[in-house]
Chain A
Amino acid sequence: MTLGVLAVVPYAGVIAYAATREAAIAPVVVTIGVLGLLLLAFVLVRRVTEPFGWSIALGGLAYAIALVAHGTHVDEAAPLVGAGLLLSGELATWSLDARWPVAADRAVVVSRAVAIGGLCLAGLAAGALAVGLTSAPVGGGVAWTALGAAAAVLVVALAARLARR
């Protein structure tokens, strides 16, 4: 129960932040965000895992719409959004794992909490690195675009392989 509530908090924070980005598009962002939030609540209450990915995706979509509508200015809080969504997903999964009454040793609980915290902080750092690199004077061009496309293809391939397992 506690984990479920904790999972909703960062998600709601991301939606609130996205809604405040651009007032004109706020109703659309809120609608999509609330839909994702309801989906997440459904996942946590009914203990079903299938809509879990959709709820996180809707959170990301709400932020992406607000981002595009806001203009070309770089949003420096984007790494926080990514880390927030990841934290929400990890806490929701932990909550789902705890649906069976298994008495866990304190060391097991602490270990997972530390691991989730570490993963989110590392994700935050990775996102900040990506944002920071945009201001670095490394130039641009076809080579960088090709490298980015290759990275994207690699990630897609990885996702496809994970999905096939």
Chain B
Amino acid sequence: MTRFDSPRLPVYGGLAAIGLLAGLTLGRVELVAVAAPFALACAVGAALARDPELSADFELTRERALEDEEVAATLTLSSPVGADRVDVYLPLPEELEARGRNPRAVRLAASEPRPLELTLSCGRWGAFGLGPALVRASDRLGFHFWETSVGEKQSLRVYPSVETLHTMLAPLEAQVFVGNQVSRERSDGIEFADLREWEPGDRVRSINWRASARRGDLWVNQQHPERNTDVVLFLDTFTDVRNGGRGTFDATVRAATSLAHRYLQRKDRVGVVSFGGFLSWLLPASGTQQLYRLVDSLLQMDVVLSFASKGIDVLPPRTLPPKALVLAITPLLDARSAAALLDLRARGFDLVVIEVSPVPFVRPGRGELADVSYRLWRLSRESLRLRYEQAGVPVVEWEDGEALEVVLEEVTAFRRYARPVRA
């Protein structure tokens, strides 16, 4: 523990010394009487100096939580000799809020552990390290202080809240493995697709007897097979527009988590690409383990400022498997990600752009010039959207607070009427 003394101790000592010397020199006992309390304070201060030898256990009730949930933290302080005052402070990231007293000052009895409980409200997703706590013990009069940090560092993962989605985007082409997605292909399945003439090798159970009787020849039913899909969540992490504790990057991660959760429930394979200042990816896979891996990967993501020019070429080919549905979640603010998405489309990927609108987070400036520049910015965004639509890419604007399902429905409607143009 680091010990330091109150600056008033030498002041009191000096005053006592001056008073005593002056009293002796002038022969005035009153000055000695004035100096006596200060000399006594110095003596008491010296007697109170006793290292409290603080130790502590720090623990959280759980390691994982969802946004807006609460986690209880307990710091148990103990000292073999006790302490008249112990100031305890648990440094918290700004995403976590303490419901209770932090910092707080308590009294510690000798050899009697004192548990201090603090409820943490998880305001935003993220991976956090909590602890050690900072403590400062002092004697009763505050003449001596001992400072140290106590408790082991504990990790807390706050997962983004997941929005319940009923509508999911169907890819243009499915993969070959079994899943829940009704493929456009014709093969064995449940959904009726078409009729065709009987061929040798067809099973008897597939014969449509009603159609065969009407046409005088054997006709068989064809079905759409149930297949899985590969979904790649392409997150634009070049920029983040924030205002009042909310921002486009937060919304991006929440949307990605909701989509990943829902697609993985459908036995699809989901991968993620963080395309920004710091490039990271997770290869598509399915299952619950992939969900945890993916959410953990999302928690690690952050917006990193970079001026390096980047394109799709920097991504390993396996991150973007053929016939994959690429769901790009982007605020459409960085030219590099905008160009990369057009490049993806040009390479024949089934691309959908969910635009996390930065407009609610931007405050237009005052004055005519600011007004004109704001309108020009809005127009340039419109123009970019038009470029995507001309390339056959559905672009939907998603504003903070709006249900993601509404946006997905818009994409479905776009894809119902627009057909992709293949080069």
Contacts and interface: CB of A to CB of B under 8 A. Distances in A.
A, B bound: yes
B11 A52 contact: yes
Nearest to A163: B10
Contact of B37 (A74, A123, A131): A123
Contact of B17 (A126, A131, A133, A152): A152
B32 A130 contact: yes
Interface stretch (A1-9, A30-38, A77-85): A77-85
A64 interface: yes
Interface string B16-39: 111111101010111111111111
Contacts of A159: 10, 13-14, 16-17, 42
Given A57-B18, A159-B14, A148 B24 contact: yes
B9 interface: yes
A139 to B, nearest CB: 15
A19 interface: no
Contacts of A134: 29
Interface in A64-115: 64, 67-68, 74-75, 78-79, 81-83, 85-86, 89-90, 93-94, 97, 100-105, 107-108, 111-112, 115
A115 B17 contact: no
A97 B142 contact: yes
A53 interface: yes
Given A67-B30, A94-B142, A103-B101, A108 B9 contact: no
A131 B40 contact: no
Contact of A53 (B14, B31, B39, B105): B14
Given A82-B37, A83-B37, A103-B101, A130 B29 contact: yes
Of residues B13, B21, B44, which shows the largest number of chain A Cβ atoms within 10 Å of its Cβ?
B13
B37 A127 contact: yes
B21 A67 contact: no
B7 interface: yes
B140 interface: yes
A115 to B, nearest CB: 4
A102 B103 contact: yes
Given A74-B30, A90-B141, A163-B13, A112 B85 contact: yes
A60 B38 CA distance: 12
B107 A108 contact: yes
B36 A105 contact: no
Contact of B141 (A64, A112, A155): A112
A152 B20 contact: yes
Measured as residues with beta carbon below 8 angstroms from the partner, the interface class of chain B is 35 or more
A60 B17 CA distance: 13
A69 to B, nearest CB: 12
B53 interface: no
A131 B31 CA distance: 10
A163 B104 contact: no
Given A103-B105, A119-B41, A149 B24 contact: yes
B38 A86 contact: yes
A47 to B, nearest CB: 13
Given A52-B7, A152-B24, A155-B39, A82 B105 contact: no
Interface string B409-421: 0000000000000
A130 B40 contact: no
Nearest to B38: A86
Interface of A: 49, 52-53, 56-57, 60, 63-64, 67-68, 74-75, 78-79, 81-83, 85-86, 89-90, 93-94, 97, 100-105, 107-108, 111-112, 115-116, 119-120, 122-124, 126-131, 133-134, 145, 148-149, 151-152, 155-156, 158-160, 162-163, 165
Given A82-B37, A119-B40, A156-B17, 18 more contacts: A53-B14, A67-B31, A74-B30, A78-B31, A81-B33, A82-B33, A82-B38, A85-B38, A94-B142, A102-B89, A104-B85, A108-B85, A108-B107, A115-B140, A119-B44, A128-B33, A131-B30, A148-B20
Interface of B: 5-22, 24, 26, 28-42, 44, 84-85, 87, 89, 101, 103-107, 140-142
